[in-house]
């Protein structure tokens, strides 16, 4: 699903260009990282591959929005990725979290007739230029209208909250566990996310709202934790590469912001794994419980 609608074969095939474009964006990050490291340290064959990929990207930009991968370019990108190194270098060079996934599957994505899988679609971000509304059903009788707001649009939309969210009952706030070491606009992304969460849940517009706090990208977080120690970013953390302890530490950092004492339901998910349904089921159950609690409060049945 994307945007609340089930994707059919034609819709999936139409997304191949955006997936391939994202692979090329990830490749740009790798090329920039290699330049930061030292081009002189690269193997001669990879210097040739670098020029090959740069030239292909230039032609792709000139050709317009349609982006495709060819087998030789996919192979060149994968070899450059291997030259860059292991996962601990991702934070150093500010690469995208899912870059490894796309490089691992680049050959498949470059094949003739390629159609994106659920994993490809879920791991490639959708650009959100404002506030996007979606609707979906939870069970036979409950229809949910959801508004997706990107972090970068939050400041501009705050003045409209009184009209848009007047009858808001629940918020789903998503934040990536793997962002603990990432940087956005010269600032730690996790800190930015905590600050944004604090401004939302303590806003007067959400005084009667319950919050589902979803911590995503558990798989990326688990793989990264032993390579990029959390204590190197957060000196107060002392439990090493223990995923459960690190997750709880990050959760508490968010929950401490809840000065308004809203009902906050934290849940850890791995939404980018389409075969992992337990986390989705748990999120669904908690969300429905939140809606029910709020409905009972509105009816003055419970306090």
- pLDDT tens by residue, 46-61: 788 888 888 887 877 7
Q: What is the pLDDT of residues 18-47, one digit of tens each?
A: 888 888 888 887 777 777 666 666 677 878
Q: Is the pLDDT of residue 150 over 80?
A: no
The more confident residue out of 18 and 239 is: 239
Mean model confidence pLDDT for the chain: 76
DSSP 8-class letter at 111: S
The more confident residue out of 265 and 230 is: 230
Q: What is the pLDDT of residues 63-93, one digit of tens each?
A: 665 567 889 999 988 888 877 664 445 555 6
Q: Provide the whole-model pTM.
A: 0.66
pLDDT for the residue numbered 254 = 96
Q: Is the pLDDT of residue 167 over 80?
A: no
72 Cβ neighbours under 8 A, 6+ residues apart: 52
Q: Cβ of 122: how many Cβ atoms within 10 Å? A: 16
- Going along the chain from its start, the domains and CATH numbers come out as 9-123 (1.10.400.10), 131-298 (3.40.50.300)
Q: Is the pLDDT of residue 270 over 80?
A: no
Q: How far is CA 139 from CA 62, 143, 235, 282, 285, in A?
A: 48, 8, 44, 14, 10
pLDDT for the residue numbered 1 = 40
pLDDT for the residue numbered 130 = 58
For residues 208-239, one letter each, b for 16 or more C-beta atoms within 10 angstroms of the residue's C-beta and e for the rest, the string is: ebbbbbbbbbbbbbbbbbeebbbeeebeebee
- 121, 289, 147: which is closest to 205 by C-alpha? 147
Whole-angstrom Cα distance, residue 146 to residue 82? 40
pLDDT for the residue numbered 59 = 79
Q: What is the DSSP string of 214-248?
A: EEE-HHHHHHHHTTS-HHHH-TT--STT-HHHHHH
Whole-angstrom Cα distance, residue 50 to residue 81? 11
Check if the beta carbon of residue 297 is closer than 8 Å to that of residue 228.
Answer: no
- Where does the pLDDT of residue 259 fall: very low under 50, low under 70, confident under 90, or very high at 90 and above? very high
Whole-angstrom Cα distance, residue 23 to residue 80? 13
The more confident residue out of 123 and 238 is: 238
DSSP 8-class letter at 101: H
Q: Is the pLDDT of residue 267 over 90?
A: no
Q: Is the pLDDT of residue 8 over 80?
A: no
pLDDT for the residue numbered 37 = 64
Determine the average pLDDT of the residues in 136-140.
Answer: 65
Q: What is the pLDDT of residues 168-178, one digit of tens each?
A: 677 888 898 98
CA 103 to chain CA centroid, Å, is: 17
Percent of the chain topping pLDDT 90: 11
pLDDT for the residue numbered 3 = 42
Determine the average pLDDT of the residues in 145-153.
Answer: 63
Whole-angstrom Cα distance, residue 21 to residue 96? 14
pLDDT for the residue numbered 88 = 45
Check if the beta carbon of residue 212 is closer than 8 Å to that of residue 169.
Answer: no
Give the ranges where 94-236 is alpha helix by DSSP (H).
99-104, 106-109, 118-123, 151-157, 161-164, 189-201, 218-225, 230-233
Give the ranges where 4-111 is alpha helix by DSSP (H).
9-14, 16-37, 44-63, 71-84, 88-93, 99-104, 106-109
The more confident residue out of 155 and 57 is: 57
């Amino acid at each position: 699903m994307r945007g609340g609608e089930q994707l059919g074969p034609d819709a999936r095939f139409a997304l191949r260009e955006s997936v391939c474009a994202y692979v090329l964006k990830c490749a740009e990050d790798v090329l920039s990282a290699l330049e930061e490291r030292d081009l002189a340290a690269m193997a001669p064959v990879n210097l040739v591959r670098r020029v090959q990929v740069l030239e292909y990207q230039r032609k792709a930009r000139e050709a317009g929005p349609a982006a495709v991968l060819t087998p030789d370019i996919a192979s060149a990108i994968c070899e450059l990725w291997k030259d860059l190194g292991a996962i601990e270098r991702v934070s150093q060079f500010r690469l995208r979290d899912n870059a490894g996934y796309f490089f691992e599957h680049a050959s498949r994505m470059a094949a003739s007739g390629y159609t994106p899988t659920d994993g490809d679609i879920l791991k490639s971000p959708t650009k959100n230029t404002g506030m996007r509304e979606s609707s979906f059903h939870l069970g036979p009788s409950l229809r949910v209208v959801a508004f997706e707001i990107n972090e970068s649009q939050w400041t501009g939309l705050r003045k409209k909250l009184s009209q848009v969210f007047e009858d808001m009952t629940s918020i789903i706030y998503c934040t990536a566990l793997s962002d603990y070491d990432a940087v956005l606009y010269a600032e730690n992304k996790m800190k930015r996310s905590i600050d944004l969460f604090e401004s939302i849940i303590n806003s007067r517009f959400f005084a009667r709202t319950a919050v589902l706090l979803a911590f995503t990208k558990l798989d990326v977080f688990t793989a990264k934790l032993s390579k990029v120690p959390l204590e190197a970013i957060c000196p107060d953390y002392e439990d090493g590469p223990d995923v459960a302890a690190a997750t709880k530490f990050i959760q508490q950092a968010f929950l401490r912001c809840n000065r308004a004492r809203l009902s906050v339901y934290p849940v850890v998910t791995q939404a980018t794994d389409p075969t992992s349904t337990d986390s989705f089921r748990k999120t669904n159950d908690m969300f429905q419980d939140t809606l029910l609690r709020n409905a009972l409060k509105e009816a003055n049945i419970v306090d």
